Amino acid sequence: MNGKQAAGQKAIEEIREGQIIGLGTGSTVYYFLEALATKVADGFNVIGVATSQKTIKLANEWKIPMRTLSEVEKIDITIDGADEVDPQLNGIKGGGGALLYEKLVAKSSSRCIWIVDSAKTKKQLGAFPLPVEVIPFGWKYVRNYLSEKGYAPTLRLDTDGHPYVTDASHYILDLHLNTIVNPEALANELDHLTGVVEHGLFLGLTEKVIVGYPDGHTETLNQ
């Protein structure tokens, strides 16, 4: 068992019968979905709300009952991954390209729990490139603005060398910042930049992080 698998399987303990569950995206969430599918196959009653087409595909394959965000009034709990987590439980998300839907689901949830392997815990955010989802029509304007600010943006490309397109039909600019001294100030700046749809700074959005280690044990960090 690796750290991702340990964290994903541990998170199943947070789920209760009859809940509406936000289902995150990524390699660690895969193990949570696998564990959830086993419970569903045994008759456990839940409804999932996915944050990406990749997660919908997995959930359908594993016969987890699904709804869209617009089909539910609220979400009881969301289990998702993160690309980086700091000691205040702030994080960077969006490495898999699902940041917009992940943030919408998170903000619709009564509780949010992240599951990560130990390599994702950092003293300070920023080593992982910060994703910024942008409208294709204005991506060059946004890139030029962010370049002038010294944020070193690069347009994310797919495996064919074309611009990567999110599930919501947007582009992603990845900011190579190395360190983020003031996440709140940067989030506020990006929130007010015309052409930006969403960014990967998730601040104050999770109450608990389950960290998995290579030897299979887990640690729980609480807000």
Q: For position 223, what pLDDT does the model report?
A: 79
CB burial of 39-72 (b: ≥16 within 10 Å; e: otherwise) equals ebeeebebbbbbbbebbbebbeeeebeeeeeeee
Q: For position 1, what pLDDT does the model report?
A: 79
CATH of 130-198, one of 3.10.20.740, 3.40.50.300, 3.30.43.10, 3.30.70.260: 3.30.70.260
Class of the CATH domain delimited by 3-123+203-222: alpha beta
Confidence of residue 76 (pLDDT cuts 50, 70, 90): very high
Could you read off the pLDDT of 105-155 as tens digits, one per residue? 999 999 999 999 999 999 999 999 999 999 999 999 999 999 999 999 999
Could you read off the pLDDT of 18-67 as tens digits, one per residue? 999 999 999 999 999 999 999 999 999 999 999 999 999 999 999 999 99
- Do 7 and 209 touch, CB atoms closer than 8 A? no
Q: For position 11, what pLDDT does the model report?
A: 97
- Measured CA to CA, the distance from residue 112 to residue 162 in angstroms comes to 34
Report pTM: 0.96
Locate the domains of the chain by residue range.
3-123+203-222, 130-198
User: Which residue of the set 84, 102, 133, 198 is catalytic?
Assistant: 102
Residues in the annotated binding site for substrate: 25-28, 80-83, 93-96, 120
- Residue 61 annotated as catalytic: no
pLDDT beyond 90 at 201: yes
Mean pLDDT value across the chain: 97
